[in-house]
Chain A
């Protein structure tokens, strides 16, 4: 290796050092070049194949095959230049990145599909009308939105006090056998399939009110069964984060235990608890199967939880798809528009939950 003692005075950019540490490695832009070449080759192959067939150019297929082609080619180039170990490293990097990109495909495809199809019927009529006496085009989703709000709201009213008090019990009071048993049962409850919760609510109400009863309150009970364990889990986690020093300081001042919990522990963790509750609502608001079983579906407005079947947004999506009439496009458009509404509600709940967590978190600054 030759050493240059006199550096070029005119260039301000330092020349990269050529030494044994960077020798025998692919240059930095090499992976991108190989990726571009792989996609170009695959695009050319698809182009030749496209000339033979009548179908239009398959962009998705070309990109997919190009990306697949990249994985062995980066391994091959790295093998030739860098040796076996680094080639393996490059291969795994490509595979791991590929896994992430692969998972993004359904998310992006789903977003685009729901927005493009959903906007067809995303109009004022859609949110101000029910489906009563509607066949074919027109009609709206108001009855389903009302049903969703009523049932989810009732489920929240049932499960927030029970869930919150259970988590307080587990963190502040629970010792011994009962606490361990409840922790175990909450775990079991988390694993209940949603349709089994629906069957339970149906069985419960059909025993007391006669077989075949489907009411809004049954749907709310089914949702509450699914929601309680989520509320318990998230609130418990938040309550455990409250530093013990705060509790001890409160006890030292002679404050009773229950006042300590109400005035010290809960205010400290309220942001996290709110976030957890919002996320649990976002989770149950999209549940379809239990509501289909327990609350059924209807075409009319129903404000009464205790009488008659009640529609909800997810069940509306399903029934519009499953019972297509004439013309089918009208039914599919309504299904997609309701799906878009549902996704917007869930996203809004998620977003509000994250904002609450960020802005109302307790400040432990000193």
Chain B
């Protein structure tokens, strides 16, 4: 009887069992860790959801009226950062991939990556010590001359530590990751597309507009969403640079600024006690959910891109 149809099983040695067992164990540790993160955060947050001002001294009324302005500030600061960082990172990525001399390109890419190596607390220190004093005169000028525009209405902050400054610092911090992703995608543009465009007489910009950008569109979007996820969760730089008052306002240049969830936790946690701790952990849970949703959207875009890659 022929045995060609039955699969040949390799002999299972003890070493194999131990090794594959520990590999599976390590993999499941990830599962356990994440489940533990979610579980502990939820367990510690439950008392906060039903707390009122009598239970927790930092709550104005209910939990939701406390977390609402913080959530607004988190999203507003991240959005400001993104508005500044997206065009600049696309520009840098194009410069490195298509404009800079070939030999210099990798060195320039490494220099941009250096920005990612700077710890956030150093960015915070720099933001207070250098950036805020440097931009304050510009803010004052903006309020005096363009103050009719609602975003720029006064009175101007005397220290420059406004939500716009925090947005600038956040933008600098998310630049490296966004640039790296955009650069990767732009470099993957099929060379034939680029050469075809150039052969038809396109200038370099027309080549980029017709070949590189359409190919890299979903890459740009996923880079932007990943940068948004980073900016939402960034803590220390915002906590140090922003002088927050917890108001809900769109004004960029005044000393009345909304705070962000992460910065608020970092500033309030060391002195928190009793149920206040649970309130802060609950705001952390909200932040976790928001970043989770944002990252899920980014992954969904990336996976769609793999299916409908522009290369074919």
Contacts and interface: CB of A to CB of B under 8 A. Distances in A.
Interface of A: 60, 85-86, 88-89, 91-93, 95-100, 102-104, 106-107, 109-110, 113-114, 117, 161-166, 168-170, 172-174, 178-179, 181-182, 185-197, 199-200, 202-204, 207, 211-212, 225, 228-229, 232, 256-259, 261-262, 282, 285-289, 292-293, 296, 314, 317-318, 321-322, 335-336, 339, 342-343, 346-347, 350
A227 to B, nearest CB: 11
A191 B131 CA distance: 28
B151 interface: no
A89 B115 contact: no
Interface stretch (B51-59, B156-164, B203-211, B248-256): B203-211
B37 A110 contact: no
B1 interface: no
Nearest to B129: A113
A92 B94 CA distance: 10
Contacts of A107: 111, 114-115
B258 to A, nearest CB: 17
B interface, by DSSP: helix, strand, loop or mixed? helix
B46 to A, nearest CB: 12
Contacts of A211: 277
Interface residues of B, number: 90
A89 B118 contact: no
B26 A199 contact: no
21 contacts: A89-B206, A96-B91, A99-B92, A106-B126, A165-B25, A173-B23, A182-B31, A185-B30, A189-B30, A193-B233, A193-B234, A195-B235, A200-B36, A202-B281, A258-B16, A258-B19, A289-B235, A292-B266, A318-B240, A321-B240, A339-B125
Interface stretch (B60-68, B215-223, B285-293): B285-293
Interface string B272-302: 0100010011001101100110110001000
Q: Which of A117, A172, A203, A317 has the most CB of B within 10 A?
A: A203
Given A261-B19, A288-B236, A289-B266, A232 B122 contact: no
A259 B111 CA distance: 40
A191 B291 contact: yes
Contacts of A292: 266, 269-270
Contacts of A181: 31
Q: Which of B23, B112, B233 has the most CB of A within 10 A?
A: B23
B197 interface: no
Nearest to B236: A288
Contacts of B73: none
A318 B40 CA distance: 27
Contacts of B23: 165-166, 168-169, 172-173
B265 interface: yes
Contacts of B240: 318, 321-322
B10 interface: yes
Contacts of B129: 113, 117
Contact of B119 (A93, A106, A162, A314): A314
Interface of B: 10, 13, 15-16, 18-20, 22-31, 33-34, 36-37, 40-41, 43-44, 87-92, 94-96, 99-100, 108, 111-112, 114-115, 117-126, 128-131, 134, 172, 175, 179, 203-206, 208, 229, 232-236, 239-240, 262, 265-266, 269-270, 273, 277, 280-281, 284-285, 287-288, 291-292, 294-295, 299
A113 to B, nearest CB: 5
B117 A350 contact: yes
Contact of A296 (B28, B270, B277): B270
A100 B108 contact: yes
Contact of A103 (B19, B115, B134, B299): B115
A98 B123 CA distance: 22
Contacts of A197: 37
Q: Which of A162, A174, A347 has the most CB of B within 10 A?
A: A162
A187 B96 CA distance: 28
A199 B125 contact: no
Nearest to B173: A106
Nearest to A112: B130
B26 A169 contact: yes
Given A88-B203, A89-B203, A318-B240, A166 B99 contact: no
B26 A288 contact: no
Contacts of A288: 119-121, 235-236, 266
Contacts of B287: 193, 195-196
Nearest to A286: B119
B311 to A, nearest CB: 20
Contact of A195 (B88, B277, B284): B284
Contacts of B33: 189, 225, 228
A164 to B, nearest CB: 8
A262 B122 CA distance: 41
A317 B284 contact: no
Given A88-B205, A293-B265, A102 B88 contact: yes
B141 to A, nearest CB: 11
A226 to B, nearest CB: 11
Given A182-B30, A193-B287, A336-B125, 16 more contacts: A89-B205, A93-B99, A113-B129, A169-B26, A174-B27, A182-B27, A185-B31, A187-B295, A187-B299, A203-B41, A204-B40, A258-B19, A286-B117, A289-B265, A318-B240, A342-B119
Contact of B10 (A92, A163, A185, A257): A257
A193 B92 contact: no
B37 A192 contact: yes
Contacts of A282: 117
A288 B238 CA distance: 12
A191 B122 contact: no
Contact of B122 (A189, A257, A343): A343
B235 A339 contact: no
A27 B37 CA distance: 63
A194 B235 contact: yes
Contacts of B117: 282, 286, 343, 346-347, 350
Contacts of B262: 193, 195, 289
Contacts of A182: 27-28, 30-31
B180 to A, nearest CB: 13
